[in-house]
Amino acid sequence: DTAVSQTPKYLVTQMGNDKSIKCEQNLGHDTMYWYKQDSKKFLKIMFSYNNKELIINETVPNRFSPKSPDKAHLNLHINSLELGDSAVYFCASSQGHFFLSSYNSPLHFGNGTRLTVT
């Protein structure tokens, strides 16, 4: 069973469109994240949720809106896509309540979604 799964794996779309990426984890973790990896492989955190509550919003444009219906799911919706949004987006999860213990827990990553905006 895949621990952290995200769909779709590839997403090709045109500028101005709205798209969503879904993420689910079956590890029972309390904290979930979205990371963006650009073409130079730099990894930057975008959002973090703990038990459906937003913890970190890392100065991401408000065209990006995460939604966590329950602690096992963290979806990412992107409005009005721009060329600069092209990247690989990784979902991740970690164990424990965020401020108490998840900082010391390794991240379990999904396989990434390669978003290409044309």
Partner 1 sequence: AQKVTQAQTEISVVEKEDVTLDCVYETRDTTYYLFWYKQPPSGELVFLIRRNSFDEQNEISGRYSWNFQKSTSSFNFTITASQVVDSAVYFCALSELQTNAGKSTFGDGTTLTVKP
Tokens of 68: 């966590």
Given the complex with partner 1, which of 73 and 112 has the nearer CB atom?
A: 112
By CB under 8 A, tell whether 64 contacts partner 1.
Answer: no
Question: What residue type is assigned to position 103 of the chain?
Answer: Y
Q: Give the contact letters, 34-53, x = binds to partner 1 (CB under 8 A), - = no.
A: ------xxxxxx--x-----
Long-range contacts of 50-57 (CB under 8 A, 24+ apart): 50/97, 50/98, 50/102, 51/97, 55/31, 55/98
Contact residues for partner 1, defined by CB under 8 A: 40-45, 48, 55-56, 58, 88, 90, 92, 98-99, 102-104, 106-109, 111-112
